[in-house]
Amino acid sequence: MSQNISALVNNAKAIKCLYYNEALSSSDISNYIGKSIPHAIKVLNELIKEGYVIEKGYASSSGGRKPLQYSLIPDTHYIVSVAISQFYIQIGILDMNNRFVADIVQHELELYDLKADNLIAEIEKYITQSGINSSKILGVGVTMPGFIDPVKGINYTHLDCKDTSLVDYMQQALSLPVFIENDSTAIALGEQKFGAAMYQDDAMVINLGWGIGLGMIVNGEIFRGHSGLAGEFSHIPLIKNGKLCKCGKHGCLETEASLIAIISKANEEIAQGQRSSLANYETIDADAIINEAVKGDMLSVKLISEAAYHIGQCLAILIHIMNPAIIIFSGKASVIGRLWMAPIQQAINEHCIPRLAAYTELVISNLNANAQLIGGAVLVVESIGKLLGDKIEALNKELDINQ
Amino acid sequence: MSQNISALVNNAKAIKCLYYNEALSSSDISNYIGKSIPHAIKVLNELIKEGYVIEKGYASSSGGRKPLQYSLIPDTHYIVSVAISQFYIQIGILDMNNRFVADIVQHELELYDLKADNLIAEIEKYITQSGINSSKILGVGVTMPGFIDPVKGINYTHLDCKDTSLVDYMQQALSLPVFIENDSTAIALGEQKFGAAMYQDDAMVINLGWGIGLGMIVNGEIFRGHSGLAGEFSHIPLIKNGKLCKCGKHGCLETEASLIAIISKANEEIAQGQRSSLANYETIDADAIINEAVKGDMLSVKLISEAAYHIGQCLAILIHIMNPAIIIFSGKASVIGRLWMAPIQQAINEHCIPRLAAYTELVISNLNANAQLIGGAVLVVESIGKLLGDKIEALNKELDINQ
DNA sequence: CAAACTTTTTTAAATTTTTAAAAAGATTAC
DNA sequence: GTAATCTTTTTAAAAATTTAAAAAAGTTTG
């Protein structure tokens, strides 16, 4: 049995890199899994026999024999991704080529009101409606705010499940493998494999949403810190004697620059009689401010610019400590990236050693609103080694019983 | 020849872990190099044949056959370590058990006046006086402030060597392998292998000296960032409209909390007639303030406390981003660690999410003033793979010529 | 003090992995 | 059109590495 384990690791690695690349040659795979070409070919042939992989014709060559291309067969398995944010949840299902194969659904559900049973019901409904056989689903990736231990499968901040872990509870109910991860970390995973952080070993991914999150990629891997709390970017103390934050401290970045903070400032200003097209809205929400800012409303632009400047101040600090190759703005609010960029860049220029600022690229994600859902799928793919391992263990148990 | 390379890697790894541990069993070595026990024993026997390693009797056992212990033979090779700081340089020589085998010498030499030829002459003199044959010296580790590329062997801030790199220039002159590294990074290396960061995968090492440096250990490895500038801790913007820093910005931590800043504040206060035992000194230097603070002089204590509080503020930010297991205070000024600790801890408590502060241990180095010198030696040991590789390459060239 | 249990060391066989050479397929230049 | 070049694939042999069992050397317990 132990001989299976090393083979398993290589097979899992090959599946992963094929998921992230859709077509690769034997030599590519050899590089990804760090083994010789004959070895890589052996692995690929095994995966073909097992039905995961298919030969996909020849790629072009710069002079020499054309390399045979290998791909995952898209419809062998599917991945369900669940993206939870402060005010709604989204569910999607992706095939083995990382393509959404059913419409993404969105439910308005406040995180603080959300119950695990609620969530499970929505996921079950979605899977049924998709028409995809449950046996073909590799796993469910759930990504959400909170302090999360992905190994233990617990969210310490939300969705407490009393005597069992959230992951165990959901696995039991859904009869499917479940994995959980923090939303900002998931977005970083998505950017790393399919977005602006591809081929980057040191990237900081800012999750511009109702809060301000940070996912860190260090030495090509997601960095979580010693107890999983690294990247608490939004609670960096910024303003002396600032507003009280829900974390218990005063003047955190989050109290000044999150969408929620911007909304509350907008309401204050309007109440004080400030002229703005926002006054025409019954309730001012994030979309209202974003829309009016795009249209040129002075107050909306001012509020976003001020928030962005504060974010830039904190980014300057982050750059001094981490010296990243790139900072990526992702998450819900990144779609209006242009509005944030100028004041952020200005704050960085003012507060950073010039050499450091010059070495750091700032970009807006091209994954748009889907970064978190994609990250949830990546989360499942990254766990494929574990999934295959569990399957083999189960098979071995059956064998033991039959003997 | 290629078969030598993989053997070489394992031999180098074995030598490294023996340097860091002074006596290990075959099973320990097997764990360190990540190979099976029979393989580890093979490596050890090779190293015994080559004269590096010796069997060192048996260790005790908790029930079972006693393990044979292996050690490096101390006097086969030596390492020269050169620690350069703002105002003086120190030179030491260590054996293969990481023990100083000659007195450490110290020269008062301002970094800005220092020339490479100067430095080389001092190193040559020191080696001659030590009486150790140059052929037995594995290499010279030079550690100093500045923005350093250890791979290219260049210090971009100090000791410019025009058309050649500092490392090439020194190697030519000394006829010995030379390695350079930033002082704070070297201190982190020293702490990682012999100090408070042993067995810690996520540690931040603060270099309390004339400036305030930071060496980062992330996932068990020194973290340098994308372009080698990570850990620019002392230039975190702290004070709004603060003093001008030599980096070009205003209000950096360094302008408020470094020993140099403290000295200048002390002079100001004394000039303004502030009562203090410091007034009895002709020139107030770091030692004066440290000594008087220890004796209880109010002004000295106040100055150090204020600086420490500012350092604590920045540490709170660092903790939010990195979530380290431990923060270690090392470097010259760490010997008066007790004086710093209370205000630092207070600032952290005030500015950190409680859960994060609780998970972070703060300790004072027990390597005292020698962390940088030890780090310089570690730097050479870490490069042993390269050294052995060069040796084999040279041998192969000779063989080619003879054939 | 002998039996039972632990741990380390040795050995030989099995397995994994790589290397290197040969074969095959494709491009380029003359 | 063909020789020269280049790259990928296949193959078989060689090398590296691990596994597992046996042997050796202790410790503990009743």
Q: Is B360 in contact with B236 (CB distance < 8 Å)?
A: no
- Report which residue type is found at B370: N
Residue A280, classed as helix, strand or coil, is helix
Contacting residues of A for B248, CB less than 8 Å apart? 353-354
Considering Cα of B327, then B328, then B333, then B334, what sign does the dihedral take?
A: positive
Residue A400, classed as helix, strand or coil, is helix
**Which comes out higher in pLDDT, residue B246 or A295?**
A295
Please state, in angstroms and rounded to a whole number, the distance separating the CA atoms of residues B101 and B92. 8
Closest to A366 (Cα-Cα) out of A138, A222, A238, A191: A191
Minimal C-alpha gap between B289 and chain A (Å): 30
Minimal C-alpha gap between A17 and chain B (Å): 23
Residue A344, classed as helix, strand or coil, is helix
Going along chain B from its start, the domains and CATH numbers come out as: 2-72 (1.10.10.10), 78-186+372-402 (3.30.420.40), 198-366 (3.30.420.40)
Span CA (B6) to C1' (D16), Å: 9
Confidence (pLDDT) at B2: 39
Distances from the Cα of A40 to the Cαs of A3, A27, A51, A62, B261, in angstroms? 17, 8, 17, 22, 59
Crossing angle, helix B298-322 and helix A298-322, to 10 degrees? 100
The set of strand D positions with any atom below 7 Å of a protein CB reads 5-12, 15-20, 24-28
Instruction: Give start and end residues of each alpha helix (H) in A296-353.
Output: 298-322, 337-351
A325 and B232: CB-CB below 8 Å?
no
Confidence (pLDDT) at A1: 37
Confidence (pLDDT) at B360: 94
Minimal C-alpha gap between A342 and chain B (Å): 20
For residue A1, say whether its CB is under 7 Å from any atom of strand C.
Answer: no
Residues by CB within 7 A of strand D: list them: A 2, 25-27, 37-38, 41, 61-68; B 3, 6-7, 10, 34-39, 58, 60-66
Q: Is B60 in contact with B68 (CB distance < 8 Å)?
A: no
Of A237, A316, A356, the CB nearest to B229: A356
Residues of B at the A interface, defined by Cβ within 8 angstroms: 147, 201-202, 214, 218-219, 221, 223-233, 235-237, 247-249, 313, 316-318, 320-325, 351-356, 359
Minimal C-alpha gap between A320 and chain B (Å): 5
Beta bridge partners, A93, equal A80
Q: Give the chain B residue nearest A326 (alpha carbons).
A: B226
Of A223, A247, A249, the CB nearest to B218: A223
Contacting residues of B for A323, CB less than 8 Å apart? 224-232
A232 and B322: CB-CB below 8 Å?
no
Of A219, A318, A355, the CB nearest to B229: A355
Distances from the Cα of B51 to the Cαs of B24, B47, B72, B77, B136, in angstroms? 17, 6, 9, 10, 13
Distances from the Cα of A247 to the Cαs of A232, A236, A244, A264, B380, in angstroms? 11, 11, 8, 18, 45
Of B227, B235, B359, the CB nearest to A227: B359
Confidence (pLDDT) at B242: 80
B351 and A249: CB-CB below 8 Å?
yes
The rounded Cα B357 to chain-centroid distance in angstroms is: 26
Contacting residues of A for B322, CB less than 8 Å apart? 225, 230, 321
Mean per-residue pLDDT for B202-218?
94
A11-28 b/e with 16+ CB inside 10 Å = b? bbbbbbebbbbbebbbeb
Please state, in angstroms and rounded to a whole number, the distance separating the CA atoms of residues B317 and A237. 7
- Report which residue type is found at A29: I
Minimal C-alpha gap between A186 and chain B (Å): 17
B231 and A317: CB-CB below 8 Å?
no
Helices (H) and strands (E) in chain A, counts: 14, 15
Mean per-residue pLDDT for B189-211?
94
Distances from the Cα of A15 to the Cαs of A33, A172, A192, in angstroms? 10, 26, 17
The set of strand C positions with any atom below 7 Å of a protein CB reads 5-12, 15-20, 23-28
| CA geometry: angle B219, B367, B31, nearest 5 deg | 40
- Residue A102, CB half-sphere, CA atoms under 13 Å: how many? 18
Q: How many residues does chain B have?
A: 403
Task: Identify, with chain letter, the residue nearest to nucleotide D27 (CA–C1').
Answer: B63
A261-313: pLDDT as tens digits: 999 999 999 999 888 999 999 889 888 998 898 898 999 999 999 999 999 99
Considering Cα of B111, then B116, then B122, then B128, what sign does the dihedral take?
A: positive
DSSP per position, A18-40: HHHHS-EEHHHHHHHHTS-HHHH
DSSP letter, residue A232 = -
- Report which residue type is found at B394: A
Residue B396: pLDDT over 70: no
Minimal C-alpha gap between A319 and chain B (Å): 8
Q: What is the mean pLDDT of each run of 10 residues along chain A (403 residues)?
A: 63 94 94 94 93 91 88 96 94 97 95 93 97 96 95 93 93 96 97 94 93 95 94 87 82 87 92 90 89 91 93 95 96 81 93 91 90 97 85 60 43
Q: Give the chain A residue nearest B214 (alpha carbons).
A: A321
Q: Is B74 in contact with B173 (CB distance < 8 Å)?
A: no
Of B223, B228, B316, the CB nearest to A237: B316
Of B228, B236, B322, the CB nearest to A230: B322
Q: Is B216 in contact with A223 (CB distance < 8 Å)?
A: no
Confidence (pLDDT) at B3: 41
The backbone torsions φ and ψ at residue B286, rounded to the nearest 5 degrees and listed phi first, read -60, -45
Task: Identify, with chain letter, the residue nearest to nucleotide C24 (CA–C1').
Answer: A65
Please state, in angstroms and rounded to a whole number, the distance separating the CA atoms of residues A346 and A335. 20
Mean per-residue pLDDT for B91-119?
95
A202 and B324: CB-CB below 8 Å?
no
- Report which residue type is found at A121: A
Residues of A at the B interface, defined by Cβ within 8 angstroms: 147, 201-202, 214, 218-219, 221, 223-233, 235-237, 247-249, 313, 316-318, 320-325, 351-356, 359
Closest to A256 (Cα-Cα) out of A240, A242, A271: A242
For residue A51, say whether its CB is under 7 Å from any atom of strand C.
Answer: no
DSSP per position, A140-186: EEEEESS-EETTTTEESSS---TTS-HHHHHHHHHTS-EEEEEHHHH
The shares of helix, strand and coil residues in chain B, as percent rounded to the nearest 5, are 50, 20, 30
- Pick out the nucleotide with least CA–C1' distance to B33: D17
- Pick out the nucleotide with least CA–C1' distance to B63: D27
User: Percent of chain B scored above 70 by pLDDT?
Assistant: 96
Count interface pairs A-B at CB distance under 8 A: 116
Residue A204, classed as helix, strand or coil, is strand
Banded model confidence at residue B397, pLDDT cuts 50, 70, 90: low
Pick from B2, B323, B350, B359 the residue to mutate for testing the A interface (most A CBs within 10 Å): B323
Confidence (pLDDT) at A2: 39
Beta bridge partners, B252, equal B237
Residue B1: pLDDT over 50: no
- Report which residue type is found at A315: L
For residue B273, say whether its CB is under 7 Å from any atom of strand C.
Answer: no
Contacting residues of A for B231, CB less than 8 Å apart? 321, 323
Please state, in angstroms and rounded to a whole number, the distance separating the CA atoms of residues A146 and A70. 39
Contacts of A203 (CB under 8 A, 6+ apart): A188, A191, A192, A196, A197, A216, A217, A324, A325, A326, A327, A328
CB neighbourhood size of B302 (10 A): 16
Instruction: Give start and end residues of each alpha helix (H) in B22-159.
Output: 26-33, 37-49, 116-130
Contacting residues of B for A313, CB less than 8 Å apart? 237
